[in-house]
């Protein structure tokens, strides 16, 4: 990948923060023990920003996304934290004006007793997502946030035409629209995702996988949400169609300034799509950086290993080292840094102190990393160089002992 390719830097216009996740924790109360799937995860998402969530299978990416969208079901429980959403559009504020605001919650009003819905509040500046009532949540989900799952294209109703399915969403959430307006809007949405409007009359089985996924994206866009969460939306598609869908998602997000949380195992794909990359390991966020910074200098040893587990299309040829071992059982994560048993740099503090997500270096304050290598108290000589990272992982690939 070259510099002039699509390694985006965050959109730093005056458009501020859309979503704040603060110390969010989720446990699964499974029969064989408590799984700490998400642990005190905090991050901010700006309007129009594309955030890519990466990490090995089972590190908590989907659980985090489900928690933000309040789609978790028992045995999953949110055990702490906040999800704060800052709406922008005046018309959207009107649509969600019955949603309880943080300021009103702090005055003691319950979000769950229906009072808020019965007496509409002034347009909230901040929506406390975890405290919305089921009715408020339904409005919030469609008006402000849409979710596209991996299997979404198979979740289309097989006995309803695509047009009916799009128009149903509009009918439920925009009852003021006439049938003709709904039809017009449905055709517009299909066009937007590159499907000919005459396909409104098609049933899902009459569309290819790529077209079904496009139709799902059209449904997600129906109410022009400000935030879309996509969990592995392209994994079931072949690489050519995958590329087309990604280009589509990217251009739609840029066009409408829609923020996107995109989850995938495929880090190389994220580097092309996302403004920001967040890496999770064992339920925690261990690094967050712009795609450009991340690609140039992954700071966490885990990020380095992850990035070097994928072949590069550009730049010098080098060995793919991979990461030895496997992620821990989330019912009993190792003390200290959860990655230390697999880390080629682990030393004493890593076994007892849990590192916090902090600015990596003075020069890269926006690149956050949770690693003692960047803690001047623990390592006064400063973090290792890129060459040292490469050498340690090279040694692992050669089968040398971890230092």
Give contact residues for ligand ATP (rule: CB under 6 A): 28, 30, 35, 37, 55, 57-63, 75, 265, 330
As measured in angstroms, the least distance from the Cβ of 367 to ligand ATP is 22
d(CA 298, CA 295): 6
As measured in angstroms, the least distance from the Cβ of 262 to ligand ATP is 13
As measured in angstroms, the least distance from the Cβ of 247 to ligand ATP is 23
As measured in angstroms, the least distance from the Cβ of 267 to ligand ATP is 12
Q: Is the dihedral of CA 57, 61, 66, 72 positive or negative?
A: positive
d(CA 248, CA 188): 15
Q: Which is nearer to ligand ATP, 55 or 225 (CB)?
A: 55
Q: Which is nearer to ligand ATP, 143 or 242 (CB)?
A: 242
Asked if 260 and 253 touch (Cβ cutoff 8 Å), the reply is yes
Q: Which is nearer to ligand ATP, 124 or 233 (CB)?
A: 233
Q: Which is nearer to ligand ATP, 153 or 222 (CB)?
A: 153
β-bridge pairing 259-263 and 50-54: parallel
- Taking the mean position of all CA atoms in its chain, how far away is CA 10? 15
Q: Which is nearer to ligand ATP, 59 or 156 (CB)?
A: 59
Give CA separation, 333 vs 118, 141, 351, 354, in Å.
45, 33, 11, 11
As measured in angstroms, the least distance from the Cβ of 329 to ligand ATP is 8
Q: Which residues pair with 20 in a beta bridge?
A: 44, 84
> DSSP characters for 129-164?
GGG--HHHHHHHHHHTEEEE-TTGGGGS-TTS-HHH
Q: Which is nearer to ligand ATP, 55 or 344 (CB)?
A: 55
As measured in angstroms, the least distance from the Cβ of 67 to ligand ATP is 9
């Amino acid at each position: 990948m070259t510099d002039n390719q699509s390694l985006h830097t965050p959109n730093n216009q005056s458009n501020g923060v859309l979503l704040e996740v603060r110390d969010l924790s989720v446990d699964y109360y499974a029969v064989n023990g408590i799984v700490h799937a998400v642990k005190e995860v905090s991050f901010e998402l700006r309007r129009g920003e594309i955030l890519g969530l990466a990490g090995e299978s089972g590190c908590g990416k989907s659980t985090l996304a489900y928690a933000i969208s309040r789609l978790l079901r028992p045995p999953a429980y949110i055990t702490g934290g906040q999800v704060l959403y800052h709406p922008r559009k005046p018309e959207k504020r009107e649509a969600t004006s019955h949603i309880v605001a943080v300021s009103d919650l702090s005055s003691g009003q319950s979000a769950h007793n229906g009072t808020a819905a019965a007496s509409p509040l002034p347009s909230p500046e901040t929506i406390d997502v975890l405290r919305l009532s089921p009715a408020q949540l339904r409005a919030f989900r469609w008006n402000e946030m849409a979710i596209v799952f991996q299997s979404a294209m198979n979740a289309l109703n097989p006995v309803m035409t695509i047009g009916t399915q799009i128009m149903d969403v509009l009918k439920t959430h925009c009852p003021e629209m006439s049938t003709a307006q709904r039809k017009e809007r449905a055709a517009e949405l299909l066009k937007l995702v590159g499907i000919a409007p005459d396909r409104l009359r098609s049933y899902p089985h009459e569309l290819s996988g790529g077209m079904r996924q496009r139709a799902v994206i059209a449904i997600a866009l129906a109410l022009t949400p400000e935030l879309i969460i996509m969990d592995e939306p392209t994994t079931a598609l072949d690489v050519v169609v995958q590329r087309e869908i990604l280009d589509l998602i990217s251009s739609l997000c840029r066009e409408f300034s829609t923020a996107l949380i995109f989850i995938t195992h495929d880090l190389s794909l994220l580097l092309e799509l996302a403004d920001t990359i967040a890496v999770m390991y064992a339920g925690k966020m261990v690094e967050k950086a712009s795609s450009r910074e991340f690609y140039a200098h992954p700071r966490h040893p885990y990020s380095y290993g992850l990035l070097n587990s994928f072949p590069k299309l550009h730049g010098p040829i080098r060995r793919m080292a991979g990461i030895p071992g496997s992620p821990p059982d989330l019912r009993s994560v190792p003390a200290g840094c959860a990655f230390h048993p697999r880390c080629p740099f682990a030393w004493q503090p890593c076994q007892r102190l849990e590192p916090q997500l902090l600015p990596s270096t003075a020069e890269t304050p926006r690149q956050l990393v949770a690693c003692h290598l960047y803690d001047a108290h623990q390592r006064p000589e400063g973090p290792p160089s890129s060459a040292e990272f490469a050498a340690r992982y090279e040694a692992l690939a050669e089968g040398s002992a971890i230092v």
